[in-house]
Structure 1
Amino acid sequence: MAPPRVALCALCVLRVALATVYFQEEFLDGERWRNRWVQSTNDSGFGHFRLSSGKFYGHKEKDKGLQTTQNSRFYAISARFRPFSNKGRTLVLQYTVKHEQKMDCGGGYIKVFPSHLDQKQLNRNSQYYIMFGPDICGFDVTKVHVILHFKNQYHSNKKTIRCKVDGFTHLYTLVLRPDLSYEVRIDGQVAESGDIEYDWNLESLKSAAKKTQTEPQRWEQDWDKQFLDAGPSAPSDWNSKLDGDLQAPLLQKPPYQDGLKAKGINNDVWLHHKLKNTNYLTEYDLSEFENIGAIGLELWQVRSGTIFDNFLITDDEEYAEKFGKATWGETKGPEKEMDDVQAKEEVKLARELEEAELPLARQGQFRGFHRRGEL
């Protein structure tokens, strides 16, 4: 028998191996990214992207991502993958974003689209399933958007989730689970969590849909707990005048769920059943999407320079965590170190310039003194 630690490691490797990765992009093959990402031509004024690791970075190649290049522009670009449904499965969206220009007003979020997206015509009106990520505009707007498309409407998370506003790379993760729980993580730490039904104000829709259902007939007995057993027919020697009416026994109702039939019992004997209505919200309506097929950036930026990298769509939270550590986790430290070095060099250069200009300034003052004396 393998030691416990070895067995645990083997289990972790097996779990990661079983993860389904629907999309993963690290931009490690240079300009070949242009074969996978499609720039929208819906508007000739859309801004353009380039591949860059920025002015400071943790690793020059690993930190290369899509960078916005033009100020005061809308941007629209997307990548397609094999369509899938997340029905009954966890959905994890993850990516890194770096506002190197110290964002003053603009978006840093991603969008997930249905497979029928026309990539060449991608624009602000294109239908999406999920919008997730930071949005900054001055001091008033510094939030993480989590918007879900449901019943032909977009619904925002009612909680205020603050985003990072510095110039470093940050890891953003959204987890949507089949049990309707969710998590928003920033740099691997849970920034917000809860229940999709309540945190997206969907309970009001549920109440409205509930009212459209037909009220069940009121029975004198509690048929939710009991049912009538069909039982055998009356014996041949049964005399209703002498023996009274034949009474079928009342039995406790066994556990019953939609789509399941109690063993040995005919459905016809159920006197009270759960009414079905297609307008009623089911738990899978809230966090499931049938044909996810594209991911993209569709946003506005006043000042360009943002870098998007390390995109991931998977069904496994553990895989996402490992991927985050292997990418952002490896370069976040060196990135800050490089920024510190550059900041110190800038301070040193500013002092040298100031010292070089000071004698000239003094000479000017001295010459002015003599001129004033001559006057």
Structure 2
Amino acid sequence: MAWARVSLWAVCTLRVVLATVYFQEEFLDGERWRNRWVPSTNDSRLGHFRLSSGKFYGHKEKDKGLQTTQNGRFYAISARFPPFSNKGRPLVLQYTVKHEQKMDCGGGYVKLFPADLDQQTLSTASPYYVMFGPDICGFDLMKVHVILQFKNEYHANKKFIKCKVDGFTHLYTLILRPDLTYEVKIDGQSIELGSIENDWHLASLRKTEQAATAPGLDPGKAGTAQDWEKHFLDAGASKPSDWNSELDGDWPGPMLQKPPYQDGLKPEGIDQDIWLHEKMRSTRYLTHYDLSEFENIGAIGLELWQVRSGTIFDNFLLTDDEQYAENFGKATWGQTKGPEKEMDDVLVKDEVARAREEEEEELLAGRLYRPRGFFDRFHRQKEL
């Protein structure tokens, strides 16, 4: 057994060496978390966080995290780390969240922000790169958000990913890969995966070699240098909304400069302006169009609304290594999930016993009124 522990430690140590950990937070140093996490002062009505492991837990110290404390409030808090780009590498975002208050309406998601985030003014208007995690509001909304920013617009995953609603701590993991695939895990189990291009509301710019494969074209025939014009109309441009044709005349449209003439550049049989425009769109896509890349990630935070407070956020991790994230999840949530449920079972039994004692006292006093399902209130909300 001792050898097994040593071997496991060696494997974990190797993963630490290979992995890049951009941010990791377990709140194991008491109130020093306040030196790392900055609450927004944008609005005096924002709710406050405290460090707590809740009413029931698997380990009193290890399960401590940021807990919302006031009902009917917005919350905004963030932590910085050295800025980085995930270009060419996986991006793994992971954390735990517990709605022990039996959440009726409120967010449990986390956001990744650019490095230039003003932490003091963090609000719903603050630009972010990624929004990920559960959101609950009655029976109509029980989903996991996966929202990505692209070209300063926010795009949500088209698939419905159901979140956990049972009141226990759960581990949420988002993986964005350089090959434009993604995966969402809950409690270490893959819940959803697929293509970012296909599963988000996006208009792909991929027009790869469209002109060369169009019917009736002969790519082997090309124009000459004498036929080559230096500029062409930008076919992707739109007329401004305030352009008045009667007053301003016909809208000319912007012109783009062409590269120097090269033999064989333009196939014969297609308008050279249209062909070159599509060719340039294709090139731009292949070099710049990557939906999983974020150039300046520098902060992580909670910016959300809750009707009923009590949610606990813990075990934040941002890394480029999927295996490290899996190991970290097992070493944190994996070690405390069982004892957490055991403690809750004990508390429920104690509450039921006290309720029965009160019932007997009411019977003796002749004042008993017990509505149907009276004792059900002591049990965690079951999955719907």
In structure 2, give the amino acid aligned to 1:304.
S
Q: Is the aligned partner of 1:206 residue 2:205?
A: yes
Q: CA deviation at 1:36?
A: 0.3
Displacement after TM superposition at 1:115 (Å): 0.1
CA distance in 1, matches of 2:51, 2:111: 20
Q: Quick one: distance in 2 between partners of 1:57 and 1:173?
A: 21
> Does 2:135 align with 1:131?
no
Pick closer, same or farther for the CA change 1:183–1:282 going to 2, 3 Å. Answer: farther
TM-superposed deviation, 1:10: 6.4
Match of 1:60 in 2: 60
Equivalent residue number for residue 225 of structure 2: none
Residue equivalent to 2:167: 167
The yes-or-no answer on 1:150 pairing with 2:155 is: no
TM-score (norm 1): 0.77
Stretches of structure 1 that go unaligned for 5 or more consecutive residues are: 1-5, 225-266, 364-375
Give the deviation of 1:22 after TM superposition.
0.1
Measured in 1, the distance between the counterparts of 2:10 and 2:61 equals: 31
Q: Which residue of 1 aligns with 2:84?
A: 84
Among 276, 288, 306, the alignment partner of 1:301 is 306
Find the partner of 1:291 among 272, 296, 305. 296
Q: Deviation of residue 283 (structure 1)?
A: 7.3
Q: Quote the residue 1:361 is aligned against.
A: 366
Alignment correspondent of 1:330: 335
Determine the structure 1 residue equivalent to 2:110. Answer: 110
Map 1:1-375; keep pairs closer than 5 Å. 13-202=13-202, 204-206=203-205, 210=207, 220-222=218-220, 271=265, 275-277=279-281, 280=285, 285-361=290-366
Q: Distance in 2 between matches of 1:358 and 1:30?
A: 47
Q: Report the AA paired with residue 314 of structure 2.
A: D
Q: What amino acid is aligned across from residue 198 of structure 1 in structure 2?
A: N
1:221-271 per-position Cα deviation (integer Å, ceiling 9, x unaligned):
5589xxxxxxxxxxxxxxxxxxxxxxxxxxxxxxxxxxxxxxxxxx96664
Secondary structure of the corresponding residue to residue 287 of structure 1: coil
The one-character-per-residue Cα deviations of 1:22-80 (angstroms, maximum 9, x if unpaired) are 00000000000000000000011000000000000000000000000000000000000
- What is the aligned partner in structure 2 of residue 238 from structure 1? none
Q: Please say if residues 87 and 284 of structure 1, whose CA atoms lie closer than 8 Å, have aligned partners that are also in contact.
A: no
Unaligned runs of 5+ in 2: 1-5, 223-260, 268-275, 369-384
Determine what percentage of the aligned residue pairs are the same residue. Answer: 74
CA distance in 2, matches of 1:120, 1:15: 36
Post-superposition offset of 1:185: 0.2
Q: Does the C-alpha gap of structure 1 residues 221 and 27 become closer, same or farther in structure 2, counting only changes over 3 Å?
A: closer
Give me the whole-angstrom Cα distance separating, in 2, the residues matched to 1:362 and 1:91: 61
Cα offset, 1:352, TM superposition: 1.0
Q: Distance in 2 between matches of 1:25 and 1:221?
A: 57
List per-residue Cα deviations over 1:329-373 (Å, max 9, x = no partner).
00000000000000000011111111122222289xxxxxxxxxx
Q: How many pairs align?
A: 312
Inter-partner Cα distance in structure 2 for 1:147 and 1:106:
17
CA positional deviation for 1:214: 10
Post-superposition CA distance 1:199-220 (Å, at most 9, x none): 0022x2426xx59x99579863
- Asked whether the equivalents of residues 180 and 283 of structure 1 are also in contact (C-alpha less than 8 Å), the reply is no
RMSD over aligned CA atoms reads: 2.9
What SS does the aligned partner of 2:139 have?
A: coil
> Following the alignment from structure 2 to structure 1, what is the Cα–Cα distance between the partners of residues 8 and 309?
46
- Aligned letter for 1:118? D
Query: Are the counterparts in 2 of residues 223 and 271 from structure 1 also a CA contact under 8 Å?
Result: no
Amino acid at match of 2:365: L
Paired amino acid for 1:75: Y
Give the conservation status (yes or no) of the 8 Å contact 1:90–1:176: yes
Runs of 4+ in structure 1 over 6 Å off: 6-12
Maintained 8 Å contact 1:46/1:76:
yes
2:273 corresponds in structure 1 to: none
Q: Does structure 1 conserve the Cα–Cα contact (< 8 Å) formed by 2:12 and 2:327?
A: no
8 A Cα contact 1:178 1:284, kept in partner = no
